[in-house]
Structure 1
Amino acid sequence: MTSQESLLPGTRRALLHRIAVAQAEGRAPSLVAAVARDGQAVWHGARTSVEGHGSDEDVQYRIGSITKTFTAVLVMRLRDEGLIDLGDPLEKHLPGTGVGEATVAELLAHTAGLAAESPAPWWERTPGSLRPELSDVLGDEPLRHPVGRRHHYSNPGYTVLGALVEEVRGVPWEEALREGILEPLGLHRTSAQPQAPYAGGWAVHPWADAMLPEPLEDLGRMAAAGQLWSTTGDLARFAAFLVRGDDRVLGAESLREMRTPAAPAEAADVMDGTAYGLGMQIQRRDGRLLVGHSGSLPGFLANLTISVEDDVAAVVLANCTSGPLLGAVGADLVRIVAEAEPRIPQPWQPLREVDPAVLELAGQWYWGTQTFGLRVSADGLIALGPLTGGGRRARFRVNGDGTWTGLEGYYAGELLRPVRRPDGSVSHLDLGSFVFTRQPYDDEDVVPGGVDPQGWRGIR
C-alpha cells in the first residue's frame, strides 16, 4: 500500500501538478505515477480524460523496454550462479546464431553491433508468430557495426539474451522470469500477458483531439525485449530492489555493476550526459545521477527513474503511442521529492571493532607532492582522495589478505597494497604501481626514480 502521509502536503501537490501538466500538455488518455523513497512507495497520482475513472497503483500498463532490465537481471543471476560468464561469447551457450562472436556483456550493453530492429514488417505492430525462430529475428545480415566497437541500441540483442536464459535454465523466458524475479519480489501484477484491470492503448491524432485504438500484439520471440505489463505499485517495488538488491534474486554488488556505464559513449551521448550500463540507462540531469529505463510500444509509454544517492525513484506510465516526455516527468518527480524533502542521513556510527593494522593506514599520504587523505569508515571500506582540489579518489574494499581493491573511478579494480618494513611498520602504499608516502618524496628509496640526495632547497 502507498503511504500518502509519508510526504508533506506541499510536496504531494507539486507532484500532482507535474503529472497534471504532463497529461494535459501531452494529451494522454491517462497518466499514472508513483514515487518510492527509502524502499517504500510514498505517493501515487493519476490523471485521466475519463472523469471518475483514474487508474490506481494496481492497473496494468504495457512497459515496453523496461522489460530489458528484467531480462538483464535474469542474465546477471546466471552469472552469479556460475552458469555463465559475462565475457563468454554467445556461441559457447547458444551456437549457430550468426552473432556468436558477441559476448554476453556486449549484448547487455548494446555493444554487440546488432541491428536496432528485426527485419520487416515492424515487430511492434505485427504478430510474434511471424518471427518464430531467432533466425527470423536476426535476419540474414544481423550486424550493423563491428562487435564491441560502439553502442547501438538493439531490440534483437535482448531477444538473443532471452533465448540465452531459456537455453541455460531449460525453461521458457516467462517461466524463468516468474520464478527468478516476480515471485521472490512479490510482483504479482507484472506479467507477459495483460491481466485485468489493465489500460487500453491509444494513438492520439497529432492535429486533432481524437483517438484511435492501437493493436495489441503478442511479441513472441521478441518478448524479452519488450513484452511485459506492470503497474506503478509493482514497478515501485522493483525500483527499490534495483537500489538495494535482494539475495533471493540478485545482490547489491551485481546491481551496482548493472548501474555502471558499460558502453562507449557516442558523441551525442557525451553532449547530453547519457550512458548505458548492463540493462540500465544512465543519465546526469540537474546535477543528479539517474538510472533506470524507458519503454514504449504502440499505445503505451513508460519510464522508471531512480536517484540512488537520494534513494528516490519515480514510475510514470501513460496509454498513448506518443505524447508526454515521461523521462523528463520522471526526473522531475525525483527532483521534487529530493529537493523538497532531502534525505535525512542515518546517524553516524563508529566502527564496531578497530583493526590496528587498518587504523595504521589512516591519515595523510603524499603522491609526489600532492596531499591525500585515507579514511577508514564503519562500513568496512577505506577511502583515498586528495585533501584539496580535484583529483583521483576512490573507495576500496578489503580482500582479506592485507590488500584492498578499488571500487570506482580511475582506481576501480586496482590493488592497494601496504608495503611494510622489516619491523612491520608501514613504509608506503603501492596503488597500481603508484607510491604513496607519509612525507613528500620520502628519501627511503621507495619513490620510483629515487630522490635527489641533496634534498629540498630554495632558489640559489
Structure 2
Amino acid sequence: MTSPFDTLLPSTERALLHRVAVAQSEGRSPSFVGAVARDGAMVWSGSRSCVDGHDPDADTQYRIGSLTKTFTAVLVMRLRDEGLLDLNDPLEKHLSGTGVGDVTIAQLLGHSAGLAAETPAPWWERTPGPVRPELADVLGDDPLVHPVGRLHHYSNPGYTLLGSLVEAVRGVSWEEALRGEILEPLGMTRTSAQPVAPHAGGWAVHPWADVMLPEPSEDLGVMAPAGQLWSTAEDLCRFAGFLAQGDDRVLSAASVEEMRTPAAPPGAGEWEGGYGLGIQLLRKGGRTLVGHTGSLPGFVACLWVSVEDGVAAVALANATSGPLTSVVASDLVRIVADAEPRFPEPWRPLPAAEVDQELLELTGPWYWGTYAYGLRLGSDRSVILEPLRGAGRRATFRALPDGGWIGLNGYYAGEKLRVVRRADGSVSHLDLASFVFTREPYEQGDAVPGGVDEAGWRGL
C-alpha cells in the first residue's frame, strides 16, 4: 500500500518544476536536473533542457566535482571506526614522505591543515592526471599557506592526500575502496569514476552571447579523491538518506553526525556557513543544511539535506558557470519543507524497562544559583536539562554504563552529570562540570559552593 508521504502534492511538484525551469533558463545551462528526497527516498525529480523532447532524468549522470570529497571523507571515517587510525594522528604515521606529515587527519578532513587551495599550475581540473603523477606534483614546493590548525582554508590537495591515505591503509585503490565500501552497500549503481551512458556532456556557455563550446572531461589521476565522480540525482538522493541517518553497513549514525559537526571556525564573512569532516554546513532561512557543492569545467552540482525536516534536494547542471545549484537545492528543500512539513512521530510512553523510581525522583525543577532548570526523562534512560524561563544552556545527556550521564550537545557536550547523595542515600544535588544544581535556590544546608548567608532571603 502506498503511503501518502511517498508522493508530493501537485501544487508542490509544480513549484519544484518551476524552480528548476527558472534555474535552467536564467542560468543558461544546456540542461538542469533537480530531485527531492523525503526520509531517504526520492519523491520527485524534474528537468529542463535546451533540446526539445530530450530532457535528462534522475538516471542521467552528471559530474559532481567536489561532492566527491564527502565520499572520500566517509572512507577515512570508516578507517577510524575500525581502529586503523585516529583522527588526531599526524599524516606521517600512515602516509610518509609527503613533506606535510605533521598535519593531522582531522585537519585535512576539515580543511584546517593550512594547505594551499590548489595545485601548482597548470589548472588541475582541465589537465589530464599524468601531468601530476605524484603527491609532490600536487603539493608543490610551498604547500602550506597558513598556520596549521588555525583557520578553515579549503584545499583540494588536502583531499588528494586523504585519498592516498585510504589507499595506503586499505592496500587497495581509492576507487576500489569507494565501490566496495560505499557505492555497493548503498545501492548507488549509477555513481562511478568514469562516465557511463546515459550521461550529460559538459559545456562552457559564453558569458556575453548565447553560444557554447564543449569542455574537456579529464581523468584527474591522483587528484580523483578531490573531484572525480559522476553520479545521478537518484543515486545522490540515496546518499542524502545516508548523510541524514547513517547506515551501519557503511558508517554509524553517530559517526555521520560527527561529520556534520563544525570542525573549524568559518572564515571572515562566512558566518552563515561552515565545514565539518568532509561535509559543508549552511544556515539559511532558519534551517541548517548539510551536504556539499561541486564543480568541474562543464558541470556544477549540489546536495543539501535538512536533517530536521527529513528533506534533501539535488541540483545538477552541465555548464561551467551560471546555474546556481547551491541556491536551487536549498530552494527545493524549502519548497517541500514549507508546503508539506514533516509529521511528528506519535507520542508514546517510555518502555517500562527504561523507567524506575530513582529516575522519576530526579525529574522536575532544579536550581543553579537562581537559574531555574527542569530535568525530564528521555529514551534509553537519557535525561534533558533545560532552562524553565529565559535563555540558558539546554542539553541532552546520555546514560553511562557505570552511572551518571554525559552531555551530547551545546555547552555541556562531553561534560558529565552525576547525582550526589547524602550518607542516608537521599539526593543532595546534581553535579554538572562542577556546577551544583539544588532543589531550592540557595537553600540553607544545601551543598552550595561558598555557602549561603545565614540570614536567608530578605526584602528591602
Q: In the alignment, which residue of structure 2 is the partner of 1:335?
A: 334
* Secondary structure in 2 matching 1:31: strand
Q: In the alignment, which residue of structure 2 is the partner of 1:179?
A: 180
Q: Give 2:31's aligned amino acid.
A: S
Q: In the alignment, which residue of structure 1 is the partner of 2:296?
A: 297
Q: Give 1:201's aligned amino acid.
A: G
Instruction: Note if contact 1:349-1:378 (Cα within 8 Å) is conserved in structure 2.
Output: no
Distance 1:302 1:380, change over 3 A: farther
* Structure 2: stretches of 5+ with no match in the other structure: none
Distance 1:4 1:424, change over 3 A: closer
Q: How does 1:58-137 map to 2 (within 5 A)?
A: 58-137=59-138
Of 70-79 and 370-379, deviating more is 370-379
Q: In the alignment, which residue of structure 2 is the partner of 1:282?
A: 281
Q: Percentage identity across aligned positions?
A: 71
Distance 1:416 1:5, change over 3 A: closer
Q: Please report how far the alpha carbon of residue 443 of structure 1 lies from its aligned counterpart in structure 2 after TM superposition.
A: 2.4
Q: In the alignment, which residue of structure 1 is the partner of 2:366?
A: 365
The Cα offsets for residues 67-117 of structure 1, whole Å up to 9 and x where unpaired, read as: 000011111111111111111111111111111111111000000000000
The Cα offsets for residues 369-408 of structure 1, whole Å up to 9 and x where unpaired, read as: 0100111123543111101111111111111111111111
Q: Please report how far the alpha carbon of residue 444 of structure 1 lies from its aligned counterpart in structure 2 after TM superposition.
A: 2.6
Instruction: Note if contact 2:380-2:399 (Cα within 8 Å) is conserved in structure 1.
Output: no
Q: Give 1:46's aligned amino acid.
A: S
Q: Distance in 1 between matches of 2:253 and 2:445?
A: 42
Q: In the alignment, which residue of structure 2 is the partner of 1:349?
A: 348
Instruction: Note if contact 2:428-2:446 (Cα within 8 Å) is conserved in structure 1.
Output: no
Q: Give 2:324's aligned amino acid.
A: L
Q: Please report how far the alpha carbon of residue 425 of structure 1 lies from its aligned counterpart in structure 2 after TM superposition.
A: 2.1
Instruction: Note if contact 2:73-2:278 (Cα within 8 Å) is conserved in structure 1.
Output: yes
Instruction: Note if contact 2:302-2:316 (Cα within 8 Å) is conserved in structure 1.
Output: yes
Q: In the alignment, which residue of structure 1 is the partner of 2:415?
A: 414
Instruction: Note if contact 2:438-2:446 (Cα within 8 Å) is conserved in structure 1.
Output: no
* Secondary structure in 2 matching 1:339: helix
Q: Distance in 1 between matches of 2:149 and 2:128?
A: 31
Q: Give 1:316's aligned amino acid.
A: A
Q: State TM-score, norm by structure 2.
A: 0.97
Q: Distance in 1 between matches of 2:5 and 2:62?
A: 22
Q: In the alignment, which residue of structure 1 is the partner of 2:248?
A: 247
Q: Distance in 2 between matches of 1:4 and 1:400?
A: 38
* Structure 1: stretches of 5+ with no match in the other structure: none
* Secondary structure in 2 matching 1:207: coil
Q: Distance in 1 between matches of 2:357 and 2:332?
A: 46
Q: Give 2:340's aligned amino acid.
A: E
Q: Distance in 1 between matches of 2:382 and 2:8?
A: 33
Q: Please report how far the alpha carbon of residue 445 of structure 1 lies from its aligned counterpart in structure 2 after TM superposition.
A: 4.4
Q: Please report how far the alpha carbon of residue 320 of structure 1 lies from its aligned counterpart in structure 2 after TM superposition.
A: 0.4
Instruction: Note if contact 1:350-1:378 (Cα within 8 Å) is conserved in structure 2.
Output: no
Q: Distance in 1 between matches of 2:110 and 2:163?
A: 14
Q: Give 2:343's aligned amino acid.
A: I
Q: Distance in 2 between matches of 1:379 and 1:422?
A: 28
Instruction: Note if contact 1:429-1:437 (Cα within 8 Å) is conserved in structure 2.
Output: yes
Q: Please report how far the alpha carbon of residue 442 of structure 1 lies from its aligned counterpart in structure 2 after TM superposition.
A: 2.7
The Cα offsets for residues 411-446 of structure 1, whole Å up to 9 and x where unpaired, read as: 111111111112222211111111111110132341
* Secondary structure in 2 matching 1:269: coil
The Cα offsets for residues 145-183 of structure 1, whole Å up to 9 and x where unpaired, read as: 111011000000000000111111010000010111001
Q: In the alignment, which residue of structure 2 is the partner of 1:315?
A: 314
Q: Point out 4+ residue stretches in structure 1 off by more than 3 angstroms.
A: none
Q: Distance in 1 between matches of 2:381 and 2:248?
A: 20
Q: In the alignment, which residue of structure 1 is the partner of 2:12?
A: 11
Q: Give 2:437's aligned amino acid.
A: F
Q: In the alignment, which residue of structure 2 is the partner of 1:266?
A: 267
* Secondary structure in 2 matching 1:183: helix
Q: Distance in 2 between matches of 1:47 and 1:220?
A: 32
Q: Distance in 2 between matches of 1:113 and 1:348?
A: 48
* Secondary structure in 2 matching 1:262: coil
Q: Does 2:171 match 1:170?
A: yes
Distance 1:52 1:4, change over 3 A: farther
Q: Please report how far the alpha carbon of residue 357 of structure 1 lies from its aligned counterpart in structure 2 after TM superposition.
A: 2.6
* Secondary structure in 1 matching 2:65: coil
Instruction: Note if contact 1:312-1:334 (Cα within 8 Å) is conserved in structure 2.
Output: yes
Q: Please report how far the alpha carbon of residue 264 of structure 1 lies from its aligned counterpart in structure 2 after TM superposition.
A: 1.5
Q: In the alignment, which residue of structure 2 is the partner of 1:52?
A: 53
Tell me how many residue pairs correspond in the alignment: 457
Q: Distance in 2 between matches of 1:333 and 1:327?
A: 10
Q: Please report how far the alpha carbon of residue 356 of structure 1 lies from its aligned counterpart in structure 2 after TM superposition.
A: 2.4
Q: Give 2:379's aligned amino acid.
A: A
Q: In the alignment, which residue of structure 2 is the partner of 1:401?
A: 402
Q: Please report how far the alpha carbon of residue 5 of structure 1 lies from its aligned counterpart in structure 2 after TM superposition.
A: 6.4
* Secondary structure in 2 matching 1:263: coil
Instruction: Note if contact 1:4-1:43 (Cα within 8 Å) is conserved in structure 2.
Output: no
* Secondary structure in 2 matching 1:100: coil
Q: Does 2:440 match 1:439?
A: yes
Q: Distance in 2 between matches of 1:14 and 1:439?
A: 54
Q: Distance in 2 between matches of 1:72 and 1:116?
A: 17
Q: In the alignment, which residue of structure 1 is the partner of 2:305?
A: 306
Instruction: Note if contact 1:69-1:280 (Cα within 8 Å) is conserved in structure 2.
Output: yes
Q: Distance in 1 between matches of 2:142 and 2:422?
A: 61
Q: Distance in 2 between matches of 1:22 and 1:148?
A: 38
Q: Distance in 1 between matches of 2:97 and 2:454?
A: 66
* Secondary structure in 2 matching 1:57: coil
Q: Distance in 1 between matches of 2:357 and 2:149?
A: 46
Q: In the alignment, which residue of structure 1 is the partner of 2:378?
A: 377
* Secondary structure in 1 matching 2:269: helix
Q: Give 1:322's aligned amino acid.
A: S
Q: State TM-score, norm by structure 1.
A: 0.97
Instruction: Note if contact 2:68-2:228 (Cα within 8 Å) is conserved in structure 1.
Output: yes
